[in-house]
Amino acid sequence: MRQQSPEPRRNSLFQRQSTMFTRWLLALVARVGLIVVGLCCCLSLFYLLACKPASYGHQQSLLWSGGANSKERYLALLQEREDSHRHYINSLTKQITQLKEALQERTQQLHESLDKAKNKGILPQGLESLHKTPTQSDLKEFFHSQLNQAEVSSGVKLSSEYAVIPFDTFTLHRVFQLETGLTKHPEERPVRKDRRDELITTVETALHVLNGPHQHTDRNRGKRTFGPSDFIEGITRTERHRGTTYELTFKGSSPQEFTQLVLFRPFGSVMKVRSEIVDTSRTLINIIVPLSKRLDAFRQFIGNFREVCIQQDRRVHLTVVYFGRDLINQVKTVLDQITSFTLIQMNEEFSRGRGLEVGARAWRHHQNVLLFFCDVDIHFTADFLTSCRLNAEPGKKVYYPVLFSQYKPAIIYSNQTHIPSIQQQLVIRKETGFWRDFGFGMTCQYRSDFINIGGFDRNIKGWGMEDVQLYRKYMHSKIMVIRSPSRGLFHLWHEKACADELPPDKYKMCMQTKAMSEASHGQLGELFFQQEIAAHLKKQEINSRM
């Protein structure tokens, strides 16, 4: 058998090895290529993620991460948004300016065209108003719009009794305002300079208007000149969104004649609303008093009535509606002291609303009389009767004065030997009383308004709520309600008894009124802590002896 040589065998082995190396190299290159491709893909993905804009969710993650870099990025985003909005606002402002200029240009062209048309006599009907040259500035037109919306010339419908904005009463030296807290004084001098200057400026403006060249003159005596001494009093209130109203009263040419001036400040300069002569010489007041027993209080009331209504005013009629038969003869004896009165006897249970209703409807004269609903424990002055006449007007205004309620004299003057007389007690101070701003029983209104509004609720018996319901009727009408403190109307203190037969709500109201009428907050505190105060004084006395 023939054997092969070693050389060919060696070559065959080399070829096999070379083929295997080539295959391994190709596999290695393929793997390296795949790795390179994978790396390129990863790099591309990272690049895309890095260059992608931050989304809303990403912004939120930056906001909540709390890191320094996240905060800086968030602030940068805010700054970018702010710059974008600023540029947008600037663009809108420029557009508005351009539109205004274009509007002015068009308006000027329109006026020129109207002038040409008017000169040629071809101006169409209905376009004359376009040619009218404005005589008032935009600001003055705004003031007049505020005046038209304010409750000056007529009343507005209100939602509840709390919606009425009360007036402050003021003179040249005093301001009488409703008490809004325990630290407020019912009567005060305007301490704030701006408030003092406001009232002084208003009176000066009123005098300037009254003494102007186009004001009232007396044909027989010539033009009258008003001075500060002619100013009697004024009332003022501010409506938050419109302005401040001032109603000022000055003396007239006779004791029964007055000049009223209404001014309005629409958060700017004062504007004149109207100026008129108010003659009250023929205005008769019918005072209606419901009564049951209480003979001593009635004697005191008649004494006040004689002094003010008979000796001073002389234009007042008294109507007494008496419930029951007890003491009726004594009441008649007291009434014999005056001349102009009407006595109506009701043989039924006492009802204040019923008595006022009967007294108002009992007026048989043709004259539309001015009614003053009053109680037997009320003390009034001649100045109040003047305010009653000036602040009520048929079909337009009703007057709801806020009276000053007296505290218990035995508590107020406990450190004095004798309690002063009634006249000496009528002092408006924090220690002597308070403004009864929750009461609506004393009111001045014309009989025609009372009848047209529907009068009192005749189903109410005894004490309370009939006056509030009448007050609400006026608030829901277009009649203006004048609500302001009166410096000439006082509620004299008397022992108040709350009847057991009253329903719970009325009994609670009665007790609250009784508590408020006893003494001031400080005086009640002294009574409540009387034992502690006495113990402290005793300790001080003992220590002083040691």
Distance between CA atoms of 346 and 355, rounded to whole angstroms?
8
In percent, how much of the chain has pLDDT > 90?
38
Query: Average pLDDT in the 478-498 region?
Result: 92
Who's near 391: CB < 8 A, 6+ residues apart? Answer: 235, 397, 399, 401, 444, 482, 484
Distance between CA atoms of 224 and 210, rounded to whole angstroms?
9
484 vs 27, residue with greater confidence: 484
> Does pLDDT of 60 surpass 50?
no
Query: Average pLDDT in the 119-129 region?
Result: 55
> Does pLDDT of 367 surpass 80?
yes
Which pair of structure tokens corresponds to residue 319? Answer: 């109507």
- 355 and 412 together in one domain: yes
| Mean pLDDT over the full length of the chain | 81
- 356 and 399 together in one domain: yes
Distance between CA atoms of 297 and 310, rounded to whole angstroms?
19
Consecutive H or E run containing 38:
helix 6-51
| Confidence bin at 149 (pLDDT 50/70/90) | low
Out of 58-72, 104-118, 349-363, the most confident range is 349-363
| Confidence bin at 61 (pLDDT 50/70/90) | very low
Q: Is 124 a domain residue? A: no
| Confidence bin at 342 (pLDDT 50/70/90) | very high
Q: Is 461 a domain residue? A: yes
Residues 370-412 pLDDT 10s: 999 999 999 999 999 999 999 999 999 999 999 999 999 988 8
Q: Is 299 a domain residue? A: yes
- 176 and 265 together in one domain: yes
- The pLDDT of residue 24: 63
CB 456 within 8 A of CB 470: yes
Its pTM stands at 0.65
CATH code: domain of residue 447: 3.90.550.10
Lowest-confidence range among 110-114, 432-436, 513-517?
A: 110-114
- The pLDDT of residue 162: 76
Count CA within 13 A, CB hemisphere, residue 61: 5
- 193 and 299 together in one domain: no
Angle at 246 between CA 240 and CA 250, to 5 degrees: 170
- 263 and 299 together in one domain: no
Residues 69-106 pLDDT 10s: 566 766 777 777 777 667 667 767 777 887 777 777 77
> Last residue of a domain, which of 251, 279, 307?
279
| Confidence bin at 267 (pLDDT 50/70/90) | confident
Residues 533-542 pLDDT 10s: 888 888 888 8
Lowest-confidence range among 213-227, 275-289, 297-311, 459-473?
A: 213-227
Q: Is 54 a domain residue? A: no
- The pLDDT of residue 197: 81
Out of 115-129, 163-177, 327-341, the most confident range is 327-341
- The pLDDT of residue 35: 75
Total domain count for the chain? 2
- The pLDDT of residue 18: 58
218 vs 363, residue with greater confidence: 363
- 247 and 373 together in one domain: no
CB 341 within 8 A of CB 330: no
CB 285 within 8 A of CB 317: yes
- 264 and 305 together in one domain: no
**Partners of 342 in the beta sheet?**
319
> Does pLDDT of 323 surpass 70?
yes
Who's near 89: CB < 8 A, 6+ residues apart? Answer: none
Domain with 163 in it:
151-210+226-279
Task: Report DSSP state, residue 162.
Answer: G
- The pLDDT of residue 55: 43
Distance between CA atoms of 115 and 144, rounded to whole angstroms?
29
Query: Average pLDDT in the 255-281 region?
Result: 88
| Confidence bin at 66 (pLDDT 50/70/90) | very low
> Last residue of a domain, which of 256, 279, 302?
279
- 491 and 393 together in one domain: yes
- The pLDDT of residue 331: 95
- The pLDDT of residue 304: 96
- The pLDDT of residue 64: 40
The residue behind tokens 């009263």 is 249
Query: Average pLDDT in the 211-235 region?
Result: 76
> Does pLDDT of 216 surpass 50?
yes
Name the 3-class secondary structure at 283.
coil
Lowest-confidence range among 37-46, 199-208, 262-271, 489-498?
A: 37-46
CB 270 within 8 A of CB 292: no
Distance between CA atoms of 472 and 453, rounded to whole angstroms?
10
CB 444 within 8 A of CB 392: yes
What sign does the CA torsion over 51, 57, 62, 65 have?
Answer: negative
Q: Please classify residue 261 by burial: count the beta carbons closer than 10 Å to its beta carbon, then call 0-12 exposed, 13-18 middle and 19+ buried.
A: buried
- 304 and 232 together in one domain: no
> Does pLDDT of 65 surpass 90?
no
Residues 433-465 pLDDT 10s: 999 888 899 999 999 999 999 998 776 665 567
Count Cβ neighbours within 10 Å for each residue of 466-502 and write b for 16 or more, e otherwise: bbbebbebbbebebbbbbbbbbbbbbbbbeeeeeeeb
Angle at 464 between CA 370 and CA 161, to 5 degrees: 70
Name the 3-class secondary structure at 241.
coil
- The pLDDT of residue 74: 66
Q: Please classify residue 59 by burial: count the beta carbons closer than 10 Å to its beta carbon, then call 0-12 exposed, 13-18 middle and 19+ buried.
A: middle
Which pair of structure tokens corresponds to residue 123? Answer: 């101006």
Task: Report DSSP state, residue 230.
Answer: G
Q: Is 58 a domain residue? A: no
Q: Is 231 a domain residue? A: yes
How many Cβ atoms are within 10 Å of 236's Cβ, its own excluded? 21
- 345 and 456 together in one domain: yes
> Last residue of a domain, which of 262, 279, 296?
279
- 507 and 361 together in one domain: yes
> Does pLDDT of 276 surpass 80?
yes
Query: Average pLDDT in the 466-482 region?
Result: 93
Q: Is 296 a domain residue? A: yes
Distance between CA atoms of 237 and 230, rounded to whole angstroms?
22
Query: Average pLDDT in the 228-248 region?
Result: 89
Out of 4-18, 128-142, 457-471, 519-533, the most confident range is 519-533
Count CA within 13 A, CB hemisphere, residue 411: 22
Q: Is 333 a domain residue? A: yes
- 235 and 167 together in one domain: yes
DSSP class per residue in 438-498:
T----EEEEHHHHHHHT---TT--BSSSHHHHHHHHHHTSSSEEEEEEEEEEEE-------
Pairing of strands 187-188, 175-176: antiparallel
Out of 149-153, 215-219, 349-353, the most confident range is 349-353
In percent, how much of the chain has pLDDT > 70?
72
